[in-house]
Amino acid sequence: MPAEEVARLLETHADRGLDTSSIEERMGRFGANRITAQKGEPAWLRFLKQFAQPLVVILLAASGITILLKEWVDGLVIFGVVLVNAIIGFVQESRALKAIDALSRSIVSTATVLRSGHKESIDASGLVPGDIVFLQSGDRASADMRLLSAKNLAADESALTGESVPSVKNVGVLAETTALADRVNMVYSGSFVASRSGAGIVVATGDSTEIGRINKLISETDVLETPLTQKIAPFSHVILYAILALAGATFAIGMLRGEAAVDMFMASVALAVGAIPEGLPAALTITLAIGVSRMARRNTIIRRLPAVETLGSTTVICSDKTGTLTQNQMTVRLVHTPAGDYEVTGSGYDSKTGQITRDSQAVAAKDDAALAAVLRTGLICSDTRIKETDDGFKVEGDPTDAALLVSAAKGGVTADDYRVFDTIPFESEHQYMAVLAGQDSPEGSRTLFVKGSLEAIQARCGAATGNGGGSGASDADRSQKAAADMARQGLRVLAFAQKSMPDNTQTIAKKDLEGGFEFVGIQGMFDPPRPEAIRAIATCCRAGIRVKMITGDHAVTAEAIASQMGVGCRGAQAGSGVSVLSSADLEGLSDEELVRAAEATDVFARVTPEQKLRLRCLIHYSKFSKPCK
């Protein structure tokens, strides 16, 4: 719907927001803007559940019978083993729950809203549908919002969609069938504003948000049994039936031989108690607790003891991509100019970790005018900052622009001699951003720098910058081939151009971008893999464990990253032939077809949260011939 129609249906006003009475009524109707936490179990119930294991129940029965027979020492020893076993499990689970609770309580959020015509900052839990919320770079969205305005607004939605590149937003109307990751007129709860500003109208809060819906899906999903618990339950029943059969046979044979009934009953009970492996539950619990403690030393929280055993039974690992297998730090990898092609080494936002090379030789921009031109244009066409903190590098703005800043630094390019006079922000419908910059004086020279999609930039160019800094005929075909090669490697491509402006120019308009530009080059960037993740995948492959990637990112990007990391255990190299399925492919598969496809597929791209849960459920239950719940 148009934004104005959304405001009308929600009975709010973009120029003054909701009034006090409306806020109170909606708070009563929709509740606080919080995701409902799964109801925790009281401590006494969690403790009692430690006894709800088949072997432990047998031991408790044995302990009770032994005490009734006045074998006090044996009965108390068996009960003591069971009690110690329960205490170890309870303590470990309590520690994990406290750690998880501490993490959740550390997240505090506020929102700037328009109410009764006045801006105010409130606790995000007080947001209601119809609130008008203002967004600035660095803000965390606390509800699902339909955008009313977007000034070059971009949002990092990687937590929801898997996209490593922020989504550029606008206020246009979209088709009702538009996929979640492509809904550019929405900002979702849990996403972060990467650049610029905007305003939106709250359309969903709490459990009604997309993040709340995922939380509900997870809470309703069956808790899957681990291989150990699956084996212990039937093993316990076998032991129980065998002991009862032996005890019964002993009693029957004794009676046939003329023995006293009381003596044979005592003998049968003694046999049953002696046959019960009372040390097994304690041994299992202590072994699992040791494993959990080792994982804790590696900063991994495991809530339930049996879960650690699944690590030893793993045959397939399904991993997310963004921030898990990759660094979530955009990095320029290749640079193309009319004078030649360059490689950029290093990764992340530390410019000291890499350099720019051509034919394996280090190149400095001061000695290469063509390289300097493309790096300088990328540097000037950026309003992002990178700060070095104790925890690493923090980006204030768009990660794509941050990658351009780092590549310029690696080439030794600065913009100290340039002052920005005017800017035309990036707009998705135009596919470019333009910056007027020049010497810091009213009569100084002026240059119009532009960056954007290759198609948008080439349409405005008639010349290209050569190695000597002069202009030559633009080789559009060569640039298009270079961009296509970068795209096949999963790189995001940005093109750059520039043109001289009159010395006294102070402002620019869109008519200034209609033509006359010199094409200066292309930069190709991507979110690089984590080196430790590549080593981990190789280790898994050597151990016979296949690694699959499940991500909301684009198929081409996911396939390129998977090939470089060795996902699917096919070797870490480009073009290693990983198999890919997209969300559209998954939708058309039946349960049986999906199980077969899951075995053969290495990368699942553009998948939705529901599809992730469907994959998890089907793959698990297919091994036990059970219906997927």
Q: Annotate 390-421 with DSSP letters as a single string.
A: TTEEEEES-HHHHHHHHHHHHTT---TT-EEE
CATH of the domain at 552: 3.40.50.1000
Q: Do 201 and 253 fall into the same domain?
A: no
Give dist(CA 201, CA 2) in Å, integer: 12
Q: Do 173 and 261 fall into the same domain?
A: no
**Residue that finishes a domain, picked among 252, 282, 311:** 311
Q: Do 489 and 358 fall into the same domain?
A: yes
* Best mean pLDDT range from 481-485, 555-559, 586-590: 481-485
pLDDT at position 159 over 80: no
Q: Which tokens go with 11?
A: 């009975």
CATH of the domain at 201: 2.70.150.10
| CA triple 202-1-430, angle to 5 deg | 95
**Residue 336 neighbours by CB distance under 10 Å:** 23
Task: Give the bridge partners for 332, in sequence order.
Answer: 525
430 in Cβ contact with 172 (< 8 Å): no
Reported as a single tens digit per residue, the pLDDT across 34-58 is 887 666 678 888 888 888 776 677 7
Q: Do 250 and 291 fall into the same domain?
A: yes
Q: Which one of the listed residues 101, 123, 139, 320 is annotated catalytic?
A: 320
pLDDT at position 384 over 80: yes
Weakest mean pLDDT among 311-320, 416-425, 617-626: 617-626
| 3-class secondary-structure state, position 582 | strand
Question: What is the Cα 232 distance to its own chain's centre?
Answer: 35
**Residue that finishes a domain, picked among 219, 236, 263:** 219
Q: Which tokens go with 542?
A: 């050597």
Reported as a single tens digit per residue, the pLDDT across 329-363 is 889 999 999 999 999 998 888 888 899 999 989 99
| 3-class secondary-structure state, position 234 | helix
Which pLDDT score, from 0 to 100, does residue 224 have?
58
For residue 81, being part of any structural domain is answered with yes
**Residue that finishes a domain, picked among 311, 346, 361:** 311
- Comparing 472 with 384, which gets the higher pLDDT? 384
Q: What is the 3-state secondary structure (H, E, C) of 242-255?
A: HHHHHHHHHHHHHH
pLDDT at position 514 over 80: yes
Q: Do 473 and 350 fall into the same domain?
A: yes
Q: What is the band of 92 on the pLDDT scale with cuts at 50, 70, 90?
A: confident
For residue 112, being part of any structural domain is answered with no
For residue 627, being part of any structural domain is answered with no
Say if strands 316-319 and 546-550 run parallel, antiparallel, or are unpaired.
parallel
For residue 545, being part of any structural domain is answered with yes
By residue count, the chain amounts to 629
User: In this structure, what DSSP letter does residue 18 have?
Assistant: B
Give dist(CA 619, CA 548) in Å, integer: 13
Q: Do 522 and 548 fall into the same domain?
A: no
For residue 629, being part of any structural domain is answered with no
Reported as a single tens digit per residue, the pLDDT across 167-182 is 889 899 999 888 888 8
Question: What is the Cα 137 distance to its own chain's centre?
Answer: 20
Look at the chain and report how many structural domains it folds into. 4
Q: Which tokens go with 448?
A: 């119009």
Q: Which tokens go with 395?
A: 């980006």
For residue 628, being part of any structural domain is answered with no
Q: Do 320 and 307 fall into the same domain?
A: no
Q: Do 445 and 373 fall into the same domain?
A: yes
Which pLDDT score, from 0 to 100, does residue 9 have?
95
Q: Do 341 and 361 fall into the same domain?
A: yes
Our CA dihedral for 353, 358, 362, 368, rounded to 10 degrees, sits at -110
Torsion sign (Cα): 18, 23, 26, 32: positive
HSE-up of residue 146 (Cα within 13 Å, Cβ side):
20
Give dist(CA 30, CA 20) in Å, integer: 15
Reported as a single tens digit per residue, the pLDDT across 195-217 is 778 999 999 999 899 988 887 77
For residue 111, being part of any structural domain is answered with no
Domain range spanning residue 278?
Answer: 43-103+223-311
Which pLDDT score, from 0 to 100, does residue 26 have?
95
Backbone angles phi, psi at 383, to 5 degrees: -120, 30
Query: Which residues are within 8 A (CB) of 335 and not within 5 positions of it... i.e. 6 or more apart?
Result: 341, 342, 343, 344, 356, 371, 374, 375, 407, 521, 522, 523, 524
320 noted as active-site residue:
yes
Which pLDDT score, from 0 to 100, does residue 73 have?
83
Which pLDDT score, from 0 to 100, does residue 536 have?
92
Q: Do 363 and 214 fall into the same domain?
A: no
pLDDT at position 469 over 60: no
Which pLDDT score, from 0 to 100, does residue 196 have?
77
Nearest to 201 by CA among 115, 139, 122: 115
Q: Do 534 and 522 fall into the same domain?
A: no
238 in Cβ contact with 56 (< 8 Å): no
Q: Which tokens go with 619?
A: 């793959």
- Put simply, whether the predicted model's pTM sits higher than 0.75 gets the answer no
**How many Å is the maximal CA-CA distance in the chain?**
122
Nearest to 441 by CA among 415, 413, 414, 418: 418
Reported as a single tens digit per residue, the pLDDT across 269-297 is 778 777 777 677 777 778 888 888 888 88
Exposed, middle or buried by CB within 10 Å (0-12, 13-18, 19+), for 558?
Answer: buried
Q: Do 360 and 269 fall into the same domain?
A: no
Which pLDDT score, from 0 to 100, does residue 157 have?
87
For residue 178, being part of any structural domain is answered with yes
